[in-house]
Chains A and B, each alone.
Chain A
């Protein structure tokens, strides 16, 4: 039975650990929640993705701390001239973990594993498609079923050929995302034969820098360094995730050196953390944007001048101070500064209520009754939407706009905003793959018939913008794409379908003894390069 196997494995591990404990270097990470399972393809929450990541690799990966893509399991790849055929050459001699859950691999990584990992998500009749619930959200959300025509073995066992239905530049970045994790087809067969396929998603076997040791629900996840890792061996021997949902408790543990890395500190503690000599407060602008959308299909928000006036009527500095409490920076573009093609030359709208009133009057709007939607849950880009809405309401009142505050339960809220029921509404977005298309096209683009995309809650369509998006997604030259996206940002600035509010800042405090840890713009927490000074 599962529990006796796990017990046996754990007993072996623990005795090994106990013996080696005196000399082993351990890194404890205070995480904020429990993983749902250990298969990244089935998850969308950062917590679950973090829990599985140490065990796995992908064809390509993001260089830690950046959004640029570097080779992973594929040591090189080529894109065909038309941009529809991708050929990946896998590294030789990559070994899957041995000894976890009684499984010993008989072969190294090859194309079969890659094909298995993708087909589980794309083929409904795949033997593992329905195991553990069968929901592959990211694969579907990133539009992969409409993008990938086929994936097959190439010239040899270590070559994978992926054929696309149309050229798509961001696909490489997509393949660096966690859903594209490569898992072991052999392990899957082994478990299927044993009759326990659901263990595949509970006890993970991968090629990654760390091996899974144990998971105690809601308490702790343990990993140990993979001695046969194809890349640079991790500098710590044991990696431990201490699941600590309470932010205060996380900081208390960090101070007591019970954990060395933590995430999501309380904004209220930031001042203290900054002053604490034992802690380094690492920070970076998050790959996100919080905005106030104005429904361009509803008068008077169909007039750009009205939208521009509102942009000048709202005091964003006050919002940054009071709602973000310093954990954010004012946004002048719809994409965050950490993203390539960010146009730093944009001149932001000033806070000028007098001018706003003038412009509104010029546009024929003297007094206006509108609604202002706010979400009842905390989002990464907006810590307190209610408070923000209240502040905006009072700013708008000063220019003669009477805004009624409206809210719904989160699922409802999102559905209705996507249906365009609002006039003004707060929302935002967190990037998935570091590609500008992932922000600009999804949130502001329209299809070729002029219909706004599902997540385009401003319901705004600009012909030039749409054309730009369509062009940029298909060409591979980044310099050319940058030019196009910069033009797109200018259009956004002039037309103001949204008021850009802020990009929240991600803070990750680590102990001073920790080196090599980088804050990832994509919200990943990675430990293979981390070292602790003794």
Chain B
């Protein structure tokens, strides 16, 4: 009887990716936390004990339950208008995640488009796009965002637009650089010879091979966006009150850092944990997706 060699099919790319990813303990912790935050965001209306906009005028500025004067009725205390901190933080996760995802989508979609055009068409398109991106990068991010919002007005949508514009150059340059390096490769030349049209070439041939650094950048842009939005909210230019966005909660609490520090500490911690988790995940993604980028 002939011995049968056992041949295992190579693991699917997804499985291979997952295996690399979970080697990185930090990344897994990040993933767990991110899932937790997403869960909170989705089920905020069930989890939160109160409406985040409701004011309990008799219970203002209560400390969290573990400090003297706190009560289990409001486990994380209340803000100066008597709104429950726990509920506001839970609902705030929705807005922060929304901002992060929205910015990421806008910068990714527009950025990929612009970057590919710059790489493929070259010439005047390339120069124009790169010059505009340089211009945006020359002005410090926060200053530019503030200026944009001063023109179009402070609200949630405009905050997303402003942050997307400010972070666009990163994406565009990344896509352009990746596409350019792919373009010089043999398989692209082969495809061109085979008669593949430029659009198909862009999206179906080249782009998938650039994905690795793009995915990492996308993940990191979510966390950057959340931080930038918090900064704008702190300056009063983000989501307007009474919306429970973590950054504007910090702005409202700026007056209270000595008298009632938890009103300021808690939203900041929420931002920190969320952004940290996303960054951990981003690291893990980078390590797992592209061995070239590993070791960092």
A residues in contact (CB < 8 Å) with B: 246-248, 251-252, 266, 268-269, 271-272, 321-322
Contact = CB atoms under 8 A, between A and B. Distances in A.
B257 A248 contact: yes
B255 A268 contact: yes
A107 B30 CA distance: 78
Contacts of A322: 57, 81
A269 B57 contact: no
Contact of B259 (A246, A247, A269, A321): A269
Interface string B236-272: 0000000000000000001111111000000000000
B231 interface: no
Interface residues of B, number: 10
Given A268-B80, A268-B259, A269-B259, A248 B57 contact: no
26 contacts: A246-B254, A247-B255, A248-B254, A248-B255, A248-B256, A248-B257, A248-B258, A251-B258, A252-B258, A266-B255, A266-B256, A268-B80, A268-B255, A268-B256, A268-B259, A268-B260, A269-B255, A269-B256, A269-B258, A269-B259, A271-B259, A272-B258, A272-B259, A321-B57, A322-B57, A322-B81
Contacts of B255: 247-248, 266, 268-269
Interface string B74-98: 0000001100000000000000000
A268 B57 CA distance: 14
B82 to A, nearest CB: 10
Contacts, number: 26
A326 to B, nearest CB: 12
A381 B256 CA distance: 23
B159 to A, nearest CB: 17
A268 B60 CA distance: 11
Contacts of B256: 248, 266, 268-269
A75 B80 CA distance: 52
Contacts of B80: 268
A114 to B, nearest CB: 44
A140 B136 CA distance: 44
B250 to A, nearest CB: 13
Contacts of A271: 259
Contacts of A248: 254-258
A528 to B, nearest CB: 32
A345 B254 CA distance: 42
Interface of B: 57, 80-81, 254-260
Contacts of B258: 248, 251-252, 269, 272
A248 B57 CA distance: 23
Nearest to B153: A409
Nearest to A409: B153
Contacts of B57: 321-322
B258 to A, nearest CB: 7
A38 to B, nearest CB: 29
Given A247-B255, A268-B260, A269-B258, 14 more contacts: A246-B254, A248-B254, A248-B256, A248-B258, A251-B258, A252-B258, A266-B255, A266-B256, A268-B80, A268-B259, A269-B256, A269-B259, A271-B259, A322-B81
Contacts of A251: 258
Contacts of B260: 268
A266 B259 CA distance: 11
Nearest to B258: A252
B153 to A, nearest CB: 9
A44 to B, nearest CB: 23
A394 to B, nearest CB: 13
A496 B256 CA distance: 39
Which of B255, B256, B257 lies at the interface centre, i.e. has the most chain A CB atoms within 10 A of its CB? B255
A268 B258 CA distance: 11
Nearest to B242: A387
A400 B257 CA distance: 43
Q: Which 9 A-B pairs have the closest CB atoms?
A: A266-B255, A268-B255, A272-B259, A268-B80, A248-B255, A268-B256, A248-B254, A248-B257, A269-B259
Contacts of A321: 57
Contacts of A247: 255
A251 B257 CA distance: 11
A251 B80 CA distance: 18
Nearest to A251: B258
B54 to A, nearest CB: 13
B240 to A, nearest CB: 9
Nearest to A325: B80
A139 to B, nearest CB: 32
Nearest to A255: B258
A455 B258 CA distance: 42
A247 B252 CA distance: 13
A248 to B, nearest CB: 5
Nearest to A272: B259
Nearest to B260: A268
A247 B251 CA distance: 13
A252 B80 CA distance: 19
A321 B80 CA distance: 12
B60 to A, nearest CB: 10
Nearest to A247: B255
Contacts of A246: 254
A251 B256 CA distance: 11
Contacts of B254: 246, 248
B290 to A, nearest CB: 45
A312 B132 CA distance: 59
Contacts of A269: 255-256, 258-259
A296 B38 CA distance: 54
A252 B259 CA distance: 11
Contacts of A268: 80, 255-256, 259-260
A321 B81 CA distance: 11
